[in-house]
Amino acid sequence: MGNKRPGDLKERVEQAADAALQASGSVGPLELLMEMRLLAPSHFTSWRKGIIPALEDVIQGSPEKLRRSFGHFQQWARNRGMRPVKIPYQRNTPGDVVTLRVTLSGDPEREDFFNKRYVPGELSAAKTKQTVAKMSKPQDIVVFETVRQSVICSECETELNKGDFLFMEKDRPLCLNCADLNHLDFLPSGNAALTRRARKYSRLSAVVVRFARARKRYERQGILVEPDAIEKAEQECLGDEDQRMARREREATRRVAQDEKLVDEMAQSIRRIYPGCPSEEAEKIACHTAERGSGRVGRSVPGRNLEERALELAVAAWIRHRWTEYDELLCSGHERLDARELVRHKVREIIGRWKDG
Ligand SMILES: [Zn+2]
């Protein structure tokens, strides 16, 4: 990235913190590092699933850069009136809930630092409780479908082959027998109602994932649940199949109507903030950012609530992609943040014009 003015890091941190907050309603040091591309999301996921014992090893950036970044981050949290909540990252195992460690040493003070996450201070008590509950939920028990030709169970030394299931206990592989999960049956993904009900009726359940090399991520294959639970869930699904089909159709119709209403309101809000933005442009922006399943800022909670900050982000992103050479810069190999820097001036200029009307 080369040498940068000291102000740049601050801005990067603030942008990353905003983006992470938009994406999930809360942000801590780890979410910040992922947004800044100093921690690979795949490493974070592996850590949460128990494959990487301590994250510290895979965090990029010099100690000095990290120290300064965290300083800016805390300043950002204060300026934005964020409320700190201390919630450790945890994962379920067959007998226990395990607290994950970020540092190799397990130093309590540093662990505390990484566990301290922020939620917006203006959130209502009920919303805060909801957000905290979501953050506190331990990672499900995860079972891996082996992708290697041969893995040896670290306890009974059984050989597991490609396609067999294994559980990771403190970065050691265990066969399902040794992990006390052998009484569960595999229910492949594909039928959402059946899966949901089987999980509900099973006292113990696990999620089965497989690492997809091409996409560099874990993909859900199904769940492990008690055989009785599958049977009960199947009966229940057979009993109300017609009803569920009718409901699905009703819901699909309702969703279309909701989406249209959201796009209309969003386009109006954009025009209010940016009187100089042509109305067909405002509509295009709203359509794009509010697209269902897109994961764009218009689909986030602040976006759907038409909060000004979310709409500003949506408009800035639109301008960057449509009105500047940003995409070409990315295509020609520029780093994302460098490319942003190069088009920043142009984006600001257009925003200014639209704001002034
Ligand atoms: Zn074993």
Question: Which of 136, 163, 185 delimits the end of a domain?
Answer: 136
CA of 213 to the centre of ligand 1 (A): 26
Asked whether residue 109 falls in the same domain as residue 170, the answer is no
Question: Which of 112, 136, 160 delimits the end of a domain?
Answer: 136
CA of 130 to the centre of ligand 1 (A): 39
Q: Within the chain, which residues score under 50 in pLDDT?
A: 1-3
For 67-72, the CB contacts below 8 A with 24+ separation are 68/9, 69/9, 69/13, 69/32, 69/33, 69/36, 69/38, 70/29, 70/113, 72/9, 72/10, 72/13, 72/14
CA of 255 to the centre of ligand 1 (A): 48
The token pair that represents 210 in the structure block: 């497989």
Question: Which of 108, 136, 164 delimits the end of a domain?
Answer: 136
Count of domains forming the chain: 3
Asked whether residue 112 falls in the same domain as residue 50, the answer is yes
Report pLDDT digits (tens) over 161-208.
999 999 988 778 999 999 888 889 999 999 999 999 999 898 888 999
CA of 142 to the centre of ligand 1 (A): 16
Asked whether residue 212 falls in the same domain as residue 155, the answer is yes
Could you tell me the residue range of the domain that residue 205 belongs to?
A: 142-239
Mean pLDDT (the chain) is 90
Asked whether residue 123 falls in the same domain as residue 171, the answer is no
Please indicate, yes or no, if residue 253 is contained in any of the structural domains.
no
Residue whose entry in the numeric block shows the structure tokens 């300064």: 68
Asked whether residue 52 falls in the same domain as residue 129, the answer is yes
| Distance from C-alpha of 63 to C-alpha of 205, rounded to nearest angstrom | 40
Asked whether residue 12 falls in the same domain as residue 52, the answer is yes
Please indicate, yes or no, if residue 244 is contained in any of the structural domains.
no
CA of 42 to the centre of ligand 1 (A): 27
pLDDT of residue 2: 46
Asked whether residue 19 falls in the same domain as residue 127, the answer is yes
pLDDT of residue 1: 45
Please indicate, yes or no, if residue 287 is contained in any of the structural domains.
yes
Asked whether residue 23 falls in the same domain as residue 127, the answer is yes
| Distance from C-alpha of 244 to C-alpha of 241, rounded to nearest angstrom | 5
CA of 150 to the centre of ligand 1 (A): 13
CA of 164 to the centre of ligand 1 (A): 12
Start-to-end C-alpha separation, the chain:
37
In the three-class reduction of DSSP (H, G, I as helix; E, B as strand; rest coil), residue 271 is classed as helix
Please indicate, yes or no, if residue 112 is contained in any of the structural domains.
yes
Asked whether residue 153 falls in the same domain as residue 233, the answer is yes
Q: Report the share of the chain in percent with pLDDT over 70.
A: 98
